[in-house]
Amino acid sequence: MAQEVLHGLGSEPKFISPKYFYDARGSALFEEITELDEYYLTRTEMSLFDAHLEDMAGRLGESVCLIEYGSGNSRKIRKLLETVSPQAYVPVDISNEHLQENARALHADFPALHVYPVCADFTQPVAVPQEVDGLTRVGFFPGSSIGNFAPSEAHRFLTGVRETVGSGGALLIGVDRKKAVSVLEDAYNDARGVTAAFNLNALAHINARLQANFELDGFRHLARYNAEEGCIQMFLESRRDQVVSIAGETVHFAANETLHTENSYKYDKAEFVELAASAGFTAEAEWSDDQQWFSIFLLRGNSTALPGAEIR
């Protein structure tokens, strides 16, 4: 972690991975974000699940193992578990405490379900437990988390999922769509400042894990839409000239210098279908709201994985 964080802070411009948002407080703040008026994503996605669960379950069939990438509080999967009735559930998350706690709670509520939590970084190949061999593997990646990857990384991630689920396996994935810039920017600049606290929490997390001394009031939250890249970009902007010590090294921030913390890419339908195809998936179904603000796609693993076409 020290090596990775220092590499990003030594780069020009500075960046850190969005995975550092998520310690226990970061996970709790994210839960709060999902309830905000401005943050239409979770609300819209949940309403799509409510409206189309039967259709989704019918398409997924029986003898299924659901593998959730970044399971968090496993809230969305609960709806699927009631309707799809999989034999096994493999929640994958980097935040171990949260993962084990949620796996226990889920097992208590669904005693017949085999739950195999895997603490792993899903940007790397994920080892699925042998116990699920023989079941149809269905990846679950809701919340538009795919948007946190640049298109080339998204391609790599989807290719990895395609390898994990195999031919005939599937991926149910939530994707945030391109729309009016004001709607997008409001969603990441809420009036109560919860997203700002979430962004700043990455520094508190690094302080705790790497004996660092970031002063949180020395940075301000920024989120804006980059139309050329097609993504919301979040930054922490240094309010003053300052030096921070991290894992025994020092890092200088000039006044107004930005630290890039997250990208959230938005997709047109055709762009996303093309991206999925480049990773060996066919878009079998899509469910979207009336405004086409958010889509859930069911991607099916092709019988032969395509050689990875380069996307941007």
Ligand X SMILES: C[S@@+](CC[C@H](N)C(=O)[O-])C[C@H]1O[C@@H](n2cnc3c(N)ncnc32)[C@H](O)[C@@H]1O
Residue 143 Cβ, how far from ligand X at the closest point, in Å?
3
Nearer to ligand X, 119 or 285 (CB): 119
Residue 305 Cβ, how far from ligand X at the closest point, in Å?
22
Residue 206 Cβ, how far from ligand X at the closest point, in Å?
15
Residue 1 Cβ, how far from ligand X at the closest point, in Å?
12
Q: 83: exposed, middle or buried (C-beta count within 10 Å: 0-12, 13-18, 19+)?
A: middle
List residues near ligand X by CB under 6 A.
19, 22, 27, 30, 70-72, 75-76, 92-95, 121-123, 142-143, 145
Residue 34 Cβ, how far from ligand X at the closest point, in Å?
7
Find tokens 């009735």 and name the residue.
Answer: 85
Asked if 109 and 80 touch (Cβ cutoff 8 Å), the reply is no
Nearer to ligand X, 30 or 297 (CB): 30
Two structure tokens written together for 251: 């890092």
Residue 20 Cβ, how far from ligand X at the closest point, in Å?
9
Two structure tokens written together for 153: 């990384």
Nearer to ligand X, 121 or 284 (CB): 121
Nearer to ligand X, 113 or 277 (CB): 113
Q: Are strands 219-226 and 249-253 parallel, antiparallel or unpaired?
A: unpaired
Residue 215 Cβ, how far from ligand X at the closest point, in Å?
25
Helices (H) and strands (E) in the chain, counts: 9, 14
Residue 248 Cβ, how far from ligand X at the closest point, in Å?
25
How many other C-beta atoms are found inside a 10 Å radius of the C-beta of residue 204?
Answer: 17
Nearer to ligand X, 198 or 253 (CB): 198
Q: Residue 33 and residue 8: Cα distance in Å, rounded?
A: 26
Residue 76 Cβ, how far from ligand X at the closest point, in Å?
5
Q: Residue 47 and residue 45: Cα distance in Å, rounded?
A: 5
Nearer to ligand X, 42 or 238 (CB): 42
Phi, psi values for residue 238, rounded to 5°: -70, 125
Whole-number Cα distances in Å, 151 to 10, 36, 59, 310: 24, 27, 27, 9
69-75-79 Cα angle (round to 5): 100
Two structure tokens written together for 279: 């990773």
Two structure tokens written together for 84: 């799809």
Nearest to 149 by CA among 63, 69, 61: 69
Nearer to ligand X, 62 or 109 (CB): 109
Asked if 15 and 259 touch (Cβ cutoff 8 Å), the reply is yes
Identify residue 217 by its one-letter amino acid code: D
Nearer to ligand X, 72 or 151 (CB): 72
Nearer to ligand X, 93 or 176 (CB): 93
